Chains A and B, each alone.
Chain A
Amino acid sequence: MTSTLTRTGDDARDDHNHEEHGDHRMFGLATFLVADAMTFAGFFAAYLTFKAVNPLPEGAIFELELPLPILNTVLLLVSSATFHKAGQAIRQGDHGRCRRWLLISAALGIAFLASQMLEYFTLPFGLADNLYASTFYAATGFHGLHVTLGALMILIVWWQARPEGGRVTAENHFPLEAAELYWHFVDGIWVVLFVILYLL
């Protein structure tokens, strides 16, 4: 009796096949980024608590210089803007312009990584030297991992946005949108990180 009790649909739906529909994928990515942000929140909370209750022992060094990180902040913020330009270009169907902006964004990301490396090598403390140093490296390292992944994603999207036969087109540009959201997220995290680690 039961299997016949069905209701004819008010409208035909297409989202019940196994296609992962674009909108849902962006929603899923956004949910994932919330989770990712919570990992950073954990690191920041640990750092702030250490700062509040665990004074550094005599003679321990934890000093940060500002010029490089400020440069890094600028690099990332500009790269967010250039990525945005790339998104606009693909929506207008201009593959060439899109790919140029993508390359610029990736270059800025890689420049950020290089400059971060430079900072690591010039800092007067190492990973296991003291509590603040360890937390500093853990948080910036985890963020750097995100930037590395993001830069790779940009390069992949750059390849997919080729004019002939690529996956990323004016109509269908989910990979680009996803990478863009991720990149903005990574930049946003950097700003919070910059304030907490370098300014506070």
Chain B
Amino acid sequence: MTVATPPDIQSAAPRLQPSGWIRYFSFSVDHKVIGLQYLVCGFAFYLVGGALAGAIRTELASPVSDFMARDVYNQVLTLHGTVMIFLWIVPVVNGAFGNYLIPFYVGARDMAFPRLNAVAFWLIPPAGLMLISSYFLTGAAQSGWTAYPPLSITTPAAGQIIWILSVLLLGGSSIFGGINFIATILKLRRPGLKLMQLPMYCWAMLGTSILVVLSTPVLAGTLVLLSFDIVAHTGFFNPGMGGNVVVYQHLFWFYSHPAVYIMVLPAFGLVSEILPVHARKPLFGYVTMVYSIMAIVGLGLIVWAHHMFTSGTPPWMRLFFTIATAFIAVPTGIKFFNWLATLWGGRINLNSAMLFSCGFIVNFVLGGITGVALAQVPFDIHVHDTYFVVAHFHYIVFGGSVFVVFASVYHWYPKFTGRMLNEGLGRFHCALTFIGFNLCFGPQHWLGLNGMPRRVAEYDPQFTLINQISSVGALLMAVSTLPFLWNVVQSAFSGRIAGDNPWNALTPEWLTSSPPPVENWVGEAPLVEEPYGYGVPIDQLDLAAASGRDLWSSGK
């Protein structure tokens, strides 16, 4: 290798791309611009979804339906779930960080199909606006994010149809993104970079994209059939016309169980990047991590009916899906222990990124435990469709994925903007979020175990106190967003200058300026063979080996 190659000026391809801030509103094909577009757009929808959650918790602070009418509650609930899943988590853990990081990680200057990439992003804002405006124009859909018939057929049609159209657009966006990630990871790798040298987030995105490509189309087809039931009065899922609602559930969950992994596998990948950097240790068990991801992908496709144990599923089906679901806990557990082992004995820097990652590990394991419990039929029959399920998946989706999104923002913000975030505010944000989150969703386990059904605006007055505690937690979470917002806005102007590599990290995105130049590197892309080579004593360094390892020790 050569150190200090003279920057060979690339013949800058003349492209008609705006520069400056305006590019973030343009049809840019730069993967970094698109990544940030996903991130900011997703965050805007997160604020909308959060306001809706606030409305839900306000309503549930009292046992009667006083804050909003019942059918408004149903609309708010449906919008909340749909916005959070399809407009915030999925686009952000996949689209935002995937687009920003994957080309760096494979040593490419952009994604395999940059234009398709821009198209995929630009499907999202119109779909989201359409969905939200349906509330004001026609009344939004009322049948929850699952849109189960016959409810979705009998509730007002206009809102449901807009919901379907918007989810179809978002699904299309997701499929285009998935195709792009698969092609980029498999086909655009820099020469000399082997698959087993890729940073773990690449594996997570490869696995996720396989799930996206295999399962999202099934949801699309199903929703088209559902829309026929609504507008053309066919009877696919309409029992009144000889149709079969359980078929809808099978098709829906064939997508939507994998979808929970589409929301959480990329988060696994991101944590696997963050932990080694701030613990100054190699990622523990790289190879087992890779196989675990692929095992989760395979098993994730054959466990969907654990959502349908009370839908008249025959005993053999219950048995099969219970066992298959329990098996998923094995690769998931492997990953969990690998993260712990990565931290074990490390020189841990308890900064905001690390604190949020640790919060993720704690919350995720709690959600995983309730998940395994829910997979047991005798238990699930009691708590299905109660607040226990709500608690379970919020521990995973919020306590897991959203915590990781925040950890990632704290970790990569210096790369995005060239400036550091304020650590004090960051830790404050983390503490508030962690307390608020557990206060909000922890008690919901109890509510569910005692029989409070989910998705209903009213409840038995005996649950009032616990619901009020939960609502206080929600308020704390809402407040916790303020220091974060202030931090990201203020630091963009006056944060400390970050430099190229403030964390002394080894993965390739740090081996360039912050923010990076348009085609990622001036000169050749670096070949990082050991993205996690932290903590090697200086005298054991092979200076001829081209890994970022020497970079770290020279930086210390």
B292 at the interface (CB under 8 A from A): no
A2 at the interface (CB under 8 A from B): yes
* A20 in contact with B113 (CB, 8 Å): yes
* A18 in contact with B2 (CB, 8 Å): no
* B235 in contact with A128 (CB, 8 Å): yes
Tell me which of A30-38, A81-89, A149-157, A190-198 binds B: A30-38
B295 at the interface (CB under 8 A from A): no
Question: Which of A5, A9, A23 contacts B511, CB < 8 Å?
Answer: A5
B376 at the interface (CB under 8 A from A): no
* B243 in contact with A28 (CB, 8 Å): no
A10 at the interface (CB under 8 A from B): yes
* B525 in contact with A18 (CB, 8 Å): no
* A6 in contact with B247 (CB, 8 Å): no
Cα A32 to Cα B187 with chains together (Å): 15
A122 at the interface (CB under 8 A from B): no
* A7 in contact with B527 (CB, 8 Å): yes
Taken residue by residue from 497 to 539, chain B's Cβ proximity to chain A (1 for < 8 Å, 0 otherwise) reads as 0001100000000111100000101111111000000000000
* B187 in contact with A24 (CB, 8 Å): yes
Inter-chain contacts of B241 with A (CB < 8 A): 128, 130-131
A44 to chain B: closest CB distance in Å?
Answer: 10
Cα A16 to Cα B250 with chains together (Å): 42
Question: Which of B2, B220, B501 contacts A39, CB < 8 Å?
Answer: B220
Inter-chain contacts of B175 with A (CB < 8 A): 32, 35
Cα A138 to Cα B181 with chains together (Å): 31
A72 at the interface (CB under 8 A from B): no
* B213 in contact with A34 (CB, 8 Å): yes
Nearest A residue (CB) for B501: A2
Nearest A residue (CB) for B5: A6
Chain A positions 22-72 with a Cβ under 8 Å from a chain B Cβ: 23-25, 27-28, 31-32, 34-36, 38-43, 45-46, 49-50, 53-54, 56-57, 60
* B244 in contact with A5 (CB, 8 Å): no
* A127 in contact with B232 (CB, 8 Å): yes
B7 to chain A: closest CB distance in Å?
Answer: 8
Cα A56 to Cα B235 with chains together (Å): 12
B218 at the interface (CB under 8 A from A): yes
Taken residue by residue from 222 to 242, chain B's Cβ proximity to chain A (1 for < 8 Å, 0 otherwise) reads as 101100100011111000011
Question: Which of B178, B183, B192, B236 contacts A27, CB < 8 Å?
Answer: B183
Cα A54 to Cα B221 with chains together (Å): 20
* A2 in contact with B233 (CB, 8 Å): no
A13 to chain B: closest CB distance in Å?
Answer: 7
Inter-chain contacts of A18 with B (CB < 8 A): 13, 15, 29, 109-110, 114
* A10 in contact with B182 (CB, 8 Å): no
Cα A18 to Cα B192 with chains together (Å): 21
* A9 in contact with B524 (CB, 8 Å): yes
Nearest B residue (CB) for A48: B247
* B551 in contact with A4 (CB, 8 Å): no
Question: Which of A15, A54, A138, A142 contacts B243, CB < 8 Å?
Answer: A54
B216 at the interface (CB under 8 A from A): yes
Cα A39 to Cα B224 with chains together (Å): 10
Task: Count A interface residues, CB 8 Å.
Answer: 50
* A1 in contact with B191 (CB, 8 Å): no
B431 to chain A: closest CB distance in Å?
Answer: 32
* A131 in contact with B243 (CB, 8 Å): yes
A11 at the interface (CB under 8 A from B): yes
A105 at the interface (CB under 8 A from B): no
Cα A17 to Cα B225 with chains together (Å): 42
Nearest B residue (CB) for A138: B225
Question: Which of A28, A31, A38 contacts B218, CB < 8 Å?
Answer: A38
Question: Which of B29, B513, B523 contacts A6, CB < 8 Å?
Answer: B523
Cα A34 to Cα B182 with chains together (Å): 12
* B180 in contact with A2 (CB, 8 Å): no
B540 at the interface (CB under 8 A from A): no
Inter-chain contacts of A128 with B (CB < 8 A): 232-235, 241
A132 to chain B: closest CB distance in Å?
Answer: 9
**Residues A13 and B190 in contact in the complex (CB < 8 Å), given A3-B511, A24-B112:** yes
Cα A78 to Cα B243 with chains together (Å): 37
Interface centre among B115, B180, B221, B501 (most CB of A within 10 A): B221
Cα A130 to Cα B241 with chains together (Å): 7
Cα A53 to Cα B244 with chains together (Å): 9
Cα A4 to Cα B247 with chains together (Å): 59
B466 at the interface (CB under 8 A from A): no
Inter-chain contacts of A11 with B (CB < 8 A): 191
Question: Which of B254, B523, B551 contacts A2, CB < 8 Å?
Answer: B551
**Further contacts, 11 of them, CB under 8 A, given A32-B179, A45-B250, A142-B221:** A2-B501, A3-B500, A5-B548, A8-B524, A9-B525, A31-B179, A38-B217, A45-B251, A50-B244, A54-B242, A128-B232
A-B residue pairs in contact (CB < 8 Å), sample of 8: A1-B555, A5-B511, A7-B2, A18-B13, A39-B221, A46-B225, A53-B244, A60-B242
Hey, which bits of chain B sit against chain A, CB under 8 A?
1-5, 13, 15, 29, 108-110, 112-116, 175, 178-180, 182-183, 186-188, 190-192, 213-218, 220-222, 224-225, 228, 232-236, 241-244, 247, 250-251, 254, 500-501, 510-513, 519, 521-527, 546, 548, 550-551, 554-555
Q: Which 9 A-B pairs have the closest CB atoms?
A: A16-B109, A42-B218, A134-B234, A39-B217, A38-B217, A42-B221, A2-B500, A39-B221, A4-B4
